[in-house]
Chains A and B, each alone.
Chain A
Amino acid sequence: MSSVTPLTADARIPLRGHLRHTGALIRRNLLWIRQDPESMFDALLMPVVFTLLFVYVFGGSIGQALGGGQDGYVQYVIPGMLAMTSMTLSQGVGTGFNQDFNSGVMDRFRALPIGRGSVLFAKIAVELVRMLFATTVLMIVAVAVGFRITDWPGLFATVGLSAAFASAIMWVFITLGVVMKNAQSVQAMGFLVLFPLQFGSSIFAPTDSMPSWLRTFTDYNPLSSLADAARGLMVGGPVAHDLWVTLAWSVLITAVMAPVAIHKFRTKS
Chain B
Amino acid sequence: MTRIDNKPSGRGDAVTVRGLVKHYGETKALDGVDLDVREGTVMGVLGPNGAGKTTIVRILSTLLAPDSGRATVAGYDVVRQPRQLRRVIGLTGQYASVDEKISGRENLYLIGRLLDLSRRDARARADELLERFSLTEAAKRPAGTYSGGMRRRLDLAASMIGRPEVLFLDEPTTGLDPRTRNEVWDEVKTMVGDGVTVLLTTQYMEEAEQLASELTVVDRGKVIANGGIEELKARVGGRTLRVRPADPLELHPLAGMLDDLGITGLATTTVDSEAGSLLVPILSDEQLTAVVGAVTARGITISSITTELPSLDEVFLSLTGHRASAPQDPEPADTRQEVAV
Contact = CB atoms under 8 A, between A and B. Distances in A.
A239 B313 CA distance: 74
A192 interface: no
A121 B51 CA distance: 37
Q: Which of A17, A36, A108 has the most CB of B within 10 A?
A: A108
Interface string A1-32: 11111111111110001001101110110011
A114 B3 contact: no
Nearest to B144: A35
A24 B110 contact: yes
Contacts of A5: 80
Contacts of A212: none
B99 interface: yes
Output the residue of B93, B113, B115 with the most chain A CB within 10 A: B113
Label chain A's interface by main secondary structure: helix
A144 interface: no
A24 B161 CA distance: 15
Interface in A91-114: 103-105, 107-114
Contacts of B142: 35
B116 A111 contact: no
B82 interface: yes
Nearest to A106: B97
Given A3-B79, A8-B3, A113-B87, A105 B65 contact: no
Contacts of A209: none
A36 B2 contact: no
Nearest to B339: A269
B89 interface: yes
Nearest to A266: B65
Contacts of A113: 83-84, 86-87, 115
Contacts, number: 100
B339 to A, nearest CB: 7
Contact of B91 (A2, A31, A35, A107): A107
Contacts of A9: 1
Contacts of B86: 111-113
A3 B66 CA distance: 12
B81 A7 contact: yes
B28 to A, nearest CB: 15
A61 to B, nearest CB: 44
Contacts of A1: 62, 65, 79, 82
Given A104-B95, A269-B63, A269-B64, A21 B82 contact: no
B63 A110 contact: yes
Interface string A153-178: 00000000000000000000000000
Given A5-B80, A10-B2, A10-B3, A112 B99 contact: no
B92 to A, nearest CB: 9
B319 interface: no
Interface in B1-47: 1-3
A107 B106 contact: no
Contacts of A267: 65
B97 A103 contact: yes
B163 to A, nearest CB: 13
Contacts of A13: 83
Contact of A104 (B65, B80, B81, B93): B93
A8 B7 CA distance: 14
10 contacts: A1-B65, A10-B2, A10-B84, A12-B83, A105-B97, A108-B93, A108-B98, A111-B62, A113-B115, A269-B64
Given A28-B110, A32-B101, 7 more contacts: A8-B81, A11-B81, A12-B83, A13-B83, A24-B113, A28-B106, A111-B62
Interface of B: 1-3, 58, 61-65, 79-84, 86-87, 89, 91, 93, 95-102, 106, 110-111, 113-116, 142, 158, 339
Give the 3 A-B CB pairs with smallest separation, nearest first.
A104-B97, A24-B113, A104-B95
